[in-house]
Amino acid sequence: MRPIRIAVAGLGVVGSETVRLLRARSESLRQRMGTRIEIAAVCDRHASAMAKRLGLPASVRRLSDPRLLPGLPGVDAVVELMGGLDAPRSLVLASLRQGRHVVTANKRLLAHCWKELGQAAAQGRSRLHFEASVAGGIPILKALDTSLAGDRIEAVYGILNGTTNFILTRMAEGMDPAAALRRAQELGLAEADPTRDLSGQDTADKVSILASLVTGSWLRPAQVNTSGITGVAPEDMAFAETVLGRRIKLLGTLRVLSRAGRRPAVEAFAAPVLIPLAHPLAAVRDEFNAVLVRATSAGDLMFYGRGAGAGPAASAVLGDILALGRELVSGAAPASAPPGPAPVLGESACSFYLRLAALDRPGVLSAVTQVLGGLGISISTIHQPGACGPKHIPIMLTTHPARPETFRRALRRILALPDISRRHTVMRLLP
């Protein structure tokens, strides 16, 4: 078997570490794969300098423009580790269409272009591996796609974003949110612009990938009910921990509500959730990731590890390169399962947490409880911790399980009450 020639696009921390490991572990990879991996080309804005720093031989082509990569002859597979969306999209689609295989860690690309990517791969009869796109070094995607594929996945709950989990961990210890973000940035756990992390969009992308894999049909990131952690205040954390015995985590959630009928019904969230302290996901601290899979036969499975960083991402990329290599050595035809029916979005009843800001006047609490009671929503806990400003005081409450549309109707009425501010925070409780 001739060597498999790859081009690595993007020599940032993950790309550099991938190249380093491919060279350092080349003999062990060859033994496990049955052939050699040969780095034919690297592509990076600073390709020459990076190639020099990595000690690559002169035979490795250096490209600074990824648009030249699809035209490069003699490349079997492209390893895309550039990040971003537009440039990787062009590169990966062109490569797949030309029959080149692709390994990528790019969650945005997968989540936003799932269907296009599948079509391009089918057109080129090429293969696409993307384990590193969700939960870094944790092999959750292959587990869902292979080992658990004979089971029925009922739900997936994941702490999928290390940045926000680090911030929430510090906040649970009493640190101010802005200070927690600065600390994350100092440690290299948050980017200069952390918007996609804090807003939940990064988690939504990963939920989209998990949902598309589980249902066999693309669930767009925009279909994931997304809210970030910017609405989570220190008083929410304190109330959750001390009064409710719960911890707030940004959770990516996929629940398969029904498989009856032609189209499955799913519920997809990327939102902060109040988790019981005894739940295994509540113990996941700092920048760690964890995924809990609920399967009909296997029961609850949990996968835990580092979701980010050069090492874990490169480990997953190497696993993908190895899987690809084995497929090519074995002569296997690429799998081409037809997409399943698109899922419909549903919502299931759940308990809600609500923080309001109210004028400190007699009768406010009674007005709020009247609205909820009038719509048949029963209150579990209600708490008015005292004045927090010159005029408005917070009211925190949790409900017993309620239908989301009923809760939203109640919320609209509550926010229209004269003594209630429009400012508020809503989160769900994990049962």
Interface with its own copies by CB under 8 A: which range of 3-11, 24-32, 160-168, 389-397? 24-32
The closest of 87, 60, 75, 65 to 126, measured between CA atoms, is 75
282 binds its own copies, rule: CB under 8 A: no
Name the residue nearer to its own copies (CB basis): 341 or 376: 341
Q: Which of residues 237-256 bind its own copies (CB under 8 A)?
A: none
321 binds its own copies, rule: CB under 8 A: yes
Residues in contact with its own copies, shown as a per-residue x/- string from 54 to 83 under the rule CB under 8 A: ------------------------------
Interface with its own copies by CB under 8 A: which range of 78-86, 219-227, 320-328, 409-417? 320-328
276 binds its own copies, rule: CB under 8 A: no
To which H or E segment does residue 215 belong? Answer: helix 201-215
Identify the residue whose tokens are 């399980």.
Answer: 401
13 binds its own copies, rule: CB under 8 A: no
Q: How far apart are CA 140 and CA 290, in angstroms?
A: 9
318 binds its own copies, rule: CB under 8 A: yes
Question: According to CB under 8 A, which one of 8, 11, 29, 213 is a site residue for its own copies?
Answer: 29
314 binds its own copies, rule: CB under 8 A: yes
Question: According to CB under 8 A, which one of 100, 107, 170, 306 is a site residue for its own copies?
Answer: 306
Question: According to CB under 8 A, which one of 5, 142, 183, 279 is a site residue for its own copies?
Answer: 142
Question: According to CB under 8 A, which one of 208, 212, 315, 351 is a site residue for its own copies?
Answer: 315
52 noted as active-site residue: no
146 binds its own copies, rule: CB under 8 A: yes
CB of 168 to its own copies, least distance (A): 19
Pairing of strands 392-399, 379-383: antiparallel
Q: Are 221 and 204 in contact (CB under 8 A)?
A: yes
CB of 130 to its own copies, least distance (A): 12
The closest of 19, 101, 99, 24 to 53, measured between CA atoms, is 19
To which H or E segment does residue 314 belong? Answer: helix 310-330
∠390-396-401 over CA atoms, to 5°? 160
Q: Which of 107, 206, 249, 391 is catalytic?
A: 206
Interface with its own copies by CB under 8 A: which range of 30-38, 79-87, 162-170, 377-385? 30-38
CB of 374 to its own copies, least distance (A): 44
Q: Which of residues 95-114 bind its own copies (CB under 8 A)?
A: none
The sign of the torsion formed by the CA atoms of 137, 82, 212, 352 equals positive
Q: Which of residues 198-217 bind its own copies (CB under 8 A)?
A: 216
Q: How far apart are CA 269 and CA 254, in angstroms?
A: 7
Q: How far apart are CA 317 and CA 12, in angstroms?
A: 14
Name the residue nearer to its own copies (CB basis): 302 or 388: 302
Strands (E) across 3-43 are located at 4-9, 37-43
Beta bridge partners of 300: 294
Please state, in angstroms and as integers, the Cα–Cα distance from residue 119 to each residue in 273, 319, 393, following that order.
36, 24, 54
326 binds its own copies, rule: CB under 8 A: yes
**8, amino acid identity:** V
Question: According to CB under 8 A, which one of 3, 188, 299, 373 is a site residue for its own copies?
Answer: 299
| Beta-carbon count within 10 A of 279 CB | 16
CB of 364 to its own copies, least distance (A): 43
Q: How far apart are CA 387 and CA 272, in angstroms?
A: 25
Q: Are 88 and 114 in contact (CB under 8 A)?
A: no
Q: What is the DSSP string of 393-418?
A: EEEEEEESSB-HHHHHHHHHHHHTST
Active site residues: 206
Site residues for its own copies per CB under 8 A = 17, 21, 25, 28-29, 31-32, 34, 131, 136-139, 142-143, 146-152, 216, 280, 283, 295-306, 309, 311-312, 314-319, 321-323, 326-327, 329-338, 340
